[in-house]
Chains A and B, each alone.
Chain A
Amino acid sequence: MWNLPQGIAFDNYVEAFSKLSPFLWNSFRMVIPAALISSMIGSINGYIFAKWKFPGSDIIYPFILFGMFIPYQSILIPLVRFMNAIGVTGLAGLAMAHIIYGIPITTLTFRNYYAGMPQELLEAGKLDGADMLGIYRLILLPISIPAFVVVLIWQFTSAWNDFLFAVVLTGNTDWPITVALNNMAGSQIIAWNVQMAGSLLAALPTLIVYIFLGRYFLRGMLAGSLKG
């Protein structure tokens, strides 16, 4: 097994792909909207917490951040019951969970980004007659691309890699890839080579994102330790 491979066999990938492709597709369908919506919410929140503070916003902010660290075991029972009660189940429910529990980190990243923007930029906008949303749309949004990339990658990666929410919120037809891979690996009848091929398939999307946008990924991670 540790000898050099005697030729390359793609059949393992064909087999793994045929088993896993519906679940890869599920992951994409859930992760892409979740990442997009998360970043929009984070951007608006960050803008306000950085530049348009309201009475009490400095008190609320740490309470939002704390949500980033909680062990989800402490909200799991209510989450499952609540989602079932409001009828948002399957991939939609999973995407919603990622968006909501993503609020702390996305707000933090954008807040730190916008806090670094000079106040003069906003004043200039005000002098030109722009209102709060005008300043956001015309001045800050166009220069927010780096922050958007950070948050999109971060949310894409963490939603793609999540297992805990997926396993409680989805059933066997709408499992994302992590749950499907774990179940495939758990069954003894699947050969090691097929399992490894499946692992690579499951890791590939985040790896591709990482190879092209890795620098931003690092920034997202450092934001996760609050050192934005």
Chain B
Amino acid sequence: MLRDKDRYLNIVLVSPSIVAVLIFIYGFIAWSGRVSLSKWKGLTPDYTWNGIRNYLDLFSDPRFAVDIRNTLIFTGVFVGGSLVLGFLLAVMLDQGLRGESFFRSLFLFPMAISYIVTGVVWRWLMNPAMGSRMSGLNLLFANLGLDPLVNAWHTTPKWGMAAIALAAIWQMSGYTMAIYLAGMRSIPHELREAARIDGASEFQIYRRIILPLLAPVTLSALIILGHMSLKVFDLIIAIAGKQLQLDVPAIYMWQATFDGLFYARGAAIGMILLISVAVLIIPYLRYTLKTDSQP
């Protein structure tokens, strides 16, 4: 079927992209990997072999321990919150209420905004200043007489990350809603009808039929949100700057490399992040591509 001049043309046309991906993704990962096994510190590259020393140092580094703890708190609150809120919003829109497309757009809106903008706005909303300098949500609570709700937000010792996760939930629950809604729409109506005839309440239908059928959607959302939370960076920077209390691996990598010039350590953090993301994403990719190719 193929004409001769077309036989290689397809390869010729995609090869620039393949070469770019090969260099900028896989080549650079290998390069980072090599830096992470070196003694490079300071402005001039130093590729002296250092084995896995940098990794061992990180795992005994108290700052990295804080990073892991913060990442776990952030992931728990952010992923959990986005899933619950996203599902509830999807159920709400699934009822076929009026103005559905308006609400769908409204909830998705934050996705189109950069984490920096979200961060700057939430920085005001969650401003921990008290007294006459009080602003944002604290001021709202105080004005409404809800003083017990006034709190230190992201400056709360130990649990500050949970406040950061609130801003991330605001940003991503619309996305979670969208994928849940798409999933709900693909469930045949007969199933719900049958359940209704059997006398199931709306709550039971969602709880016993829809939620279990949407398990693959939940898993996808879990993986997508989970890998985002491993990468969280801009949002924290915009809300709080670089504070040790709210440190995460991405910020540590940044500071180690570009502020401290500990290139080898920075590269090691980058590689640890990559491996954690890969553990989540590779099985997901395999699964999705497999189900994709089945007609």
Contact = CB atoms under 8 A, between A and B. Distances in A.
Interface stretch (B58-66, B119-127, B198-206): B119-127
Given A45-B14, A186-B241, A221-B178, A202 B116 contact: yes
B231 to A, nearest CB: 5
B281 A181 contact: no
B18 A199 contact: no
Q: Which of B114, B277, B278 has the most CB of A within 10 A?
A: B114
A181 B112 contact: no
A69 B277 contact: yes
B114 A163 contact: yes
Contacts of B21: 63-64, 67, 100, 103-104
Interface string A191-212: 0100110110011001101110
Contacts of B72: none
Given A75-B29, A132-B6, A132-B9, A66 B124 contact: no
Given A78-B28, A131-B6, A107 B113 contact: no
B13 A48 contact: yes
A137 to B, nearest CB: 13
A1 B277 CA distance: 42
B288 A226 contact: yes
Nearest to B24: A100
A65 interface: yes
Interface stretch (B92-100, B207-215, B232-240): B232-240
Interface stretch (B74-82, B145-153, B262-270): B262-270
Q: Which of A179, A211, A227 has the most CB of B within 10 A?
A: A227
Given A79-B28, A182-B237, A203 B114 contact: yes
A126 interface: yes
A111 B79 CA distance: 29
Interface string A41-82: 100110011001110010011111111011111111111011
A48 B9 CA distance: 10
Which size bracket describes the interface of B in this complex? 35 or more
Nearest to A123: B1
Contact of A77 (B20, B230, B263, B286): B263
Contact of A131 (B3, B17, B28): B3
B188 to A, nearest CB: 18
Contacts of B109: 207, 210
A54 B6 CA distance: 11
Contact of B282 (A52, A64, A66, A198): A66
Nearest to B223: A225
A162 B284 CA distance: 25
Nearest to A44: B13
Contact of B24 (A63, A79, A211): A79
B108 A214 contact: yes
Nearest to B33: A74
Q: Which of A67, A81, A161, A207 has the most CB of B within 10 A?
A: A161
B113 A206 contact: yes
A143 interface: no
Which size bracket describes the interface of A in this complex? 35 or more
B139 A70 contact: no
Interface in B131-185: 135-136, 139-140, 143, 175, 178-179, 182
Contacts of B175: 221
A32 interface: no
Contacts of B121: 196, 199
A74 B97 CA distance: 45
A75 B224 CA distance: 20
B194 interface: no
B17 A218 contact: no
B124 A2 contact: no
A224 B284 CA distance: 13
A69 B281 contact: yes
B112 A70 contact: no
B267 A185 contact: no
B113 A77 contact: no
B89 interface: no
Contacts of A222: 178-179, 182
A210 to B, nearest CB: 4
Given A77-B257, A101-B24, A203-B114, A48 B14 contact: yes
18 contacts: A1-B135, A48-B13, A66-B282, A67-B25, A69-B277, A73-B254, A75-B29, A77-B31, A77-B270, A103-B21, A131-B6, A132-B9, A178-B114, A182-B119, A192-B124, A195-B120, A198-B120, A206-B112
Given A79-B28, A199-B121, 8 more contacts: A66-B278, A76-B32, A78-B35, A162-B114, A163-B233, A207-B113, A214-B105, A225-B179
